[in-house]
Chain A
Amino acid sequence: MNRRHFAWAATALVALTLSTPSFAADELRVMVHSSFALPKPLLAQFEAENKVKLVILKGGDAGEMLNKLILTKAKPVADVVYGIDNTLVGKALAAGVLETTGVPNADAHLGAALAAVDYGFVNLNYDKAMVAKRAVALPKTLQDLTLPAYKNWLVTPNPATSSTGYAFLLATISSMGEAKAFEWWAQMRANGLKVVKGWSEAYYTEFARNKGAYPLVVSYATSPAAEVFYSKDKLTESPTASLNLKGGVFRQVEGVGLVKGGAQPAAALKFVEFMRSAPVQETLQTEMWMYPVHTGTPRAPVMQHAAEPTEFESPAAPLIARKGSEWVARWTKVVLK
């Protein structure tokens, strides 16, 4: 009996040792949010040119991804991180998960540790068909949305669990001021605001365009272009459009940077440059639906359906870092509790 147990124990120990991954010297671990997407040949080319093997780790929603980095700080899970944006950079810096020196082209919006890769706008999208069917003019201001005519119109992702929802909340606070903004949210709650966990649930389940009941959704300025791009029929016009209201547009800048304590700083820096190289800047437009930071990058033709908003909110990162979680807690209290 004892022999048998000993054999089991030995097997278990051997199995455990064998299965604990020891990271190969030529492996570059890249932490990304779940929306990261680049063509395989492009990634393969990077691997060949730099003689590394890319291990892409999808850490969930951007906020969730950052929390994973923070919770695993003692034993970093990645060498380089892409997808921390201006809403999260303050938290990342405060938690000390980023290598703060040495990243080339560090961006003014993102602080010293991140190089900007792309930017986008969180705004309202509407379903043209349903708005036409309801025969109500589109709202002109956010305040209009609290009127009875727009009862049960808007669906938003929860700022506590979605960076999209968070960005939209920041925009409202930035334009109206904290007190007014939460007053507006309370009125919206009374006017049938629908809250769901994440952006995809809001857009693909509740939004009228996708058989849901809500004509307005918190989404991105590029979403109407994506509708055309992915449509089965050839469309000349998008079935959805952006609705850029004052205080309802947030400019988001996403960056790439080195994880503090990562094992491959040299290769990680190569990856930072790679994300800002011309081929990536060109393809990310229709892969991740963001605008490239390099102004010289030719725009993908389909992006004509995604006009850039001219007015937007972009609160300072340190302020967001200081007040962000307090605002989310207050939002939860005002809208959900």
Chain B
Amino acid sequence: MPPLTHRQPGLQSSVWHSSFWLGLLPAAALLVLLIAPLLRLLLAGFTGEVGLPGAVADVSLWQPWQDDYLRWRVLWSLAQAGITCVLAFVLGLPLAWVLARFEFTGRSLVLRLLMLPFVVPTLVAALGVLALWGPHGVLSGWLGIHLQGTPWLLLYGNLFFNLCLVVRAGVDALGQVSARQVAAARSLGATPWRAFWRIEWPAIAPWLMSGLCLVFLYCFAGFGLALVLGGQTYATVEVEIYTLVAHELQLGQASVLALWMLWLTGAVALVYAWLEKRLAAPTRVEPVLRKAPQGLWQWLALLAALAVLVLVCLLPIGAIVWRALAADAWATLLEPDVLAALGNTLRFSVIALVLATLLGVLHALAAQHSVWWRAAAFLPFVVSPVTVAFGLLLLYPSWTASLPLLLAAYALLAYPFVTKALAAGLDSLPPHVLQAARTLGASPWRSFWRVTWPLLRPALRRGMAFAAATALGEFAVTLFLSRPEWTTLTTLIYQRLGHPGQTSLDQAFVLACLLMLLALLSFLMIEWPAPGFENSQQVAGTDVRPKAHKHA
């Protein structure tokens, strides 16, 4: 955590006071929409009672471990997250090193494109994986094998999202390795490999580990990918919870599973928080200068790295576009239920974005002087949306089909992005500029409006872009809490996937393309900043590790 210096001189005396009032609304939201439903779930799990009709109550807390089938679900959920971490690490570290140390044409473009998977909705990504490797997929048809019914579909989907996260974290971390130390090691005769191992690795390891912790959380608590790609055998606990509620109405068993998920994600989240806390604050070091690759091997390394990126992170997106263009189903865009779903998606996203911005800004301002407030903003990240939605369902049965509840859940899952980006922006505000403005006679309001706000705007925009992408692609909560007439693009795609025939599949690809275009708009908001804001944007952005869609 960077040192918290006097950022708002005019407000110093009332710091505690103002952060309390500012934080009131986000705290209430967290309490009502997250903590209370979770406590309700705990209660249901411990007492075995469930407050909804049609529920079977005779389940024990230990059932997930006594029952072979459920145990397999839990263990597989853990395993697929673990395997993804290993794969992301093995592929991601060399990739990050190459991108951090070599200078080449298009490098900044590659770094920008690395953000692309972050805004791709999960369901779109799942469709992309199917389009490549499914029964009639592009690559599977070409290679003569298809991966449906194997664990590889899900693992590949996991990698699509998480490789970029690891690479991005690795590039950032490698940028903080001191050039002098590396140079010193080299001049003392260390080979590049030894220099990496003794100097660079210790410096970046904690960052990578905390990144991998996040990867584990995303994969473990992920829903959309596992639902579409997992099939009967390789679906995760989150999918099982959804099936138990939506198809079997076995709320007791579902709540026990959700409870175990809560404990397990909680444990991983604790490890993550602990790792983050141990991370040293980034100090200004002279970064290692990037060099153009020299010689055959370095060029090969660069090409191999780019090939891996294309294969894992770009191909699924390309496959969607390709399938959508090849499909003869564009007329579906004019169907009334598609237009209605598009309208719902836009309407819900805009409202959720407004709410999320409100909550996020308040929370970030409140968190300026309090580590606890900062930590609280992570709560919606560590609890899986399926669990949240299920808790809401239990706690407010008469609200199950109410729009305010659905939208509040959207906002809750999206607002931490705003908080995180804005908090990073606030941290990097140069205090002297503000002090200068105040010394020159500007009122607190005027200095905020003329100095602070323009400096913060890029960070806010970035946070809002991620929040918007989250809301656009939201899936888990929508499946749980929505009413049929509130069908969004994501749920409509899922419905089309469940319908018979090539036409429905083609339509799903067209709709996925549309949804991706919408998500792309938020990507452009993130990665193509207006001229003049580039620098502050990057400063504010270094700390943002997006994660929303993983949960969706």
A residues whose Cβ falls under 8 Å from a Cβ of B = 1, 5, 8-9, 11-12, 15-16, 19-21, 29, 31, 34, 55, 57-61, 63-64, 67-68, 70-75, 77, 91, 94-96, 158, 160-161, 195-201, 203-205, 211-212, 325, 328, 332-333, 336-337
Q: A67-B249, A71-B401 are in contact. List 15 more A-B contacts (CB 8 A).
A: A5-B361, A8-B357, A9-B358, A55-B485, A59-B484, A60-B495, A61-B498, A68-B484, A72-B400, A74-B397, A74-B400, A75-B398, A77-B484, A197-B231, A197-B232
B69–A336 contact, CB under 8 A? yes
| Minimum C-beta distance from B173 to chain A (A) | 35
B232–A158 contact, CB under 8 A? yes
Is B501 among interface residues, defined by CB-CB distance under 8 A?
A: yes
* B232 in complex: contacting residue of A95, A195, A199, A325, CB < 8 Å: A195
Q: Which A residue's beta carbon lies closest to that of B505?
A: A204
Residues of A within 8 A of B52 (CB): 71
Best-buried of B72, B484, B502 by chain A (most CB within 10 Å): B484
B401–A72 contact, CB under 8 A? yes
Q: Which B residue's beta carbon lies closest to that of A200?
A: B500
Which of B36-44, B347-355, B372-380, B421-429 contacts its partner? B347-355
A47 to B380, alpha carbons, bound, how many Å? 45
Is B286 among interface residues, defined by CB-CB distance under 8 A?
A: no
A245 to B289, alpha carbons, bound, how many Å? 75
Is B407 among interface residues, defined by CB-CB distance under 8 A?
A: yes
* B358 in complex: contacting residue of A8, A19, A67, CB < 8 Å: A8
Residues of B within 8 A of A77 (CB): 401, 483-485
A200 to B361, alpha carbons, bound, how many Å? 46
Is B404 among interface residues, defined by CB-CB distance under 8 A?
A: yes
Interface of chain B residues 459 through 502 with chain A (CB within 8 A): 483-485, 495, 498-502
* B407 in complex: contacting residue of A16, A70, A75, CB < 8 Å: A16
B247–A72 contact, CB under 8 A? no
B361–A57 contact, CB under 8 A? no
- A/B interface sample: 19 pairs, CB < 8 A: A12-B355, A58-B495, A60-B495, A63-B247, A67-B245, A67-B246, A67-B247, A72-B401, A75-B399, A75-B401, A91-B54, A158-B232, A161-B243, A161-B247, A196-B232, A200-B499, A200-B504, A325-B248, A336-B69
A16 to B402, alpha carbons, bound, how many Å? 11
Best-buried of B72, B135, B448, B495 by chain A (most CB within 10 Å): B135
Given contacts A158-B232, A211-B136, contact A71 B400 (CB under 8 A): yes
Residues of B within 8 A of A61 (CB): 247, 498
A34–B499 contact, CB under 8 A? yes
A95–B69 contact, CB under 8 A? no
Q: Which B residue's beta carbon lies closest to that of A11?
A: B354
| Minimum C-beta distance from B493 to chain A (A) | 14
A21–B445 contact, CB under 8 A? no
Interface of chain B residues 340 through 384 with chain A (CB within 8 A): 347, 350-351, 354-355, 357-358, 361-362
A57–B484 contact, CB under 8 A? yes
Q: Which B residue's beta carbon lies closest to that of A72?
A: B401
A67 to B357, alpha carbons, bound, how many Å? 35
A12 to B67, alpha carbons, bound, how many Å? 47
| Minimum C-beta distance from A75 to chain B (A) | 5
| Minimum C-beta distance from A239 to chain B (A) | 15
B53–A70 contact, CB under 8 A? yes
A161 to B249, alpha carbons, bound, how many Å? 11
Interface of chain B residues 150 through 205 with chain A (CB within 8 A): none
B243–A160 contact, CB under 8 A? yes
B351–A15 contact, CB under 8 A? yes
